[in-house]
Amino acid sequence: MRDEKSLFINIVALLILSVMAFYIYKVSIDTGSGIKITDNTTPQMRVADRYLNKNVMDGNSKYEWGGSAENTSANIVTSVVVDYRLFDTTLEVIVLFITILGFGFIMPKDKRKINPSTTILYRWSPILMLLMLMIGGYMFINGHLSPGGGFPAGAIISTAVLTGVLAGRRTLNQKKLKIIEAVAGISIFGLGIASYLITGNFFQNFILNDKIGDLFSAGLIPVFYGLIAFKVAAELSNIYFEFYEEC
């Protein structure tokens, strides 16, 4: 890393990048016919409206609008993520799974030296872990009512596992994590197949007629978010274990 702090290279890069940034800024605030952020002043110009009213199917298509996808979830973002785009969400989880698979191939398998934790972290880690597990559980249970959901809840729960790893406490091992991940993943696709058998559409919400705003509402959305939270938590904890190579 010799010429990382070389003045000439930095000045040349700054000049080129500032010219590019100025040009892109001038283009983006231009009032031409391109994409403009200020377009969404009326509801008809918004992305959501175009998304909902897009027409990609002709009259002969056998796919039909079910009519009752989002009438029970209070959080509209959750409706979009879990009702309309559940295929995308499950495939994101599979992308995380493939990341773990790649980790197993590229990480060197020799023993690394690990510094033992201090007494303060060792004694305080169970309290911190309890608080993190509570917040994570609240987030995926209330994902359809308040900001939050499966992915942040999984990240918080895996942070609890990370605290245990850093403190040197034995919490879980990789075998249990793999079992949790497999059960959650199979349950997601099993629910999808069940909804295909019940309603005729893959991943369609088949528990309807709930009262909006209740804790037990929105049909399958809290179930899917709980499963996604456990799968993401298991995968992220697996990453931490791969980095630590212990426990």
Residue ranges binding another protein (CB under 8 A): 1-4, 9-10, 13-14, 17-18, 20-21, 24-25, 28-29, 37-38, 40-41, 43, 46-48, 51, 74-77, 79-81, 85, 88-89, 92, 95-96, 98-99, 102-103, 106-108, 145-147, 149, 151, 212-213, 239, 242-243
Residues 6+ apart with CB under 8 A from 238: 100, 103, 174, 177, 178, 181
CB of 146 to another protein, least distance (A): 7
CB of 130 to another protein, least distance (A): 25
Q: Report in angstroms the alpha-carbon separations of 27 from 22, 40, 46, 206, 236.
A: 9, 18, 21, 47, 40
In the complex, least distance from residue 191 CB atom to another protein, rounded to whole angstroms: 20
| b (16+ CB within 10 A) / e for 229-245 | bbbbbbbbbbebbeeee
By beta-carbon proximity to another protein, the closer residue of 21 and 198 is: 21
CB closer to another protein, 29 vs 215:
29
Type of residue numbered 83: D
Tell the smallest beta-carbon distance from residue 24 to another protein (Å): 6
Shortest Å, Cβ 229 to another protein: 13
CB of 131 to another protein, least distance (A): 23
Nearer to another protein, 58 or 65 (CB): 65
Comparing CB distances to another protein, the nearer of 62 and 113 is 113
Long-range pairs for 183-189: beta carbons < 8 A, 24 or more residues apart? 184/227, 184/228, 184/230, 184/231, 184/234, 185/93, 185/97, 185/231, 187/227, 188/90, 188/93, 188/224, 188/227, 188/228, 188/231, 189/90
User: From residue 104, how far is each of 29, 109, 246 by CA, in Å?
Assistant: 46, 9, 14
The whole-angstrom separation of Cα 164 and Cα 136 is 16
**Between 98 and 120, CB nearer to another protein:** 98
Q: Which residue, 25 or 124, is less far from another protein as judged by CB?
A: 25
Determine the Cα–Cα distance for residues 126 and 164; give it in Å rounded to an integer.
8
Q: 143: closest CA among 16, 28, 228, 29?
A: 228
Least distance from another protein to the Cβ atom of residue 216, Å: 16
Judged by beta carbon, residue 193 or residue 212, the one nearer another protein is: 212
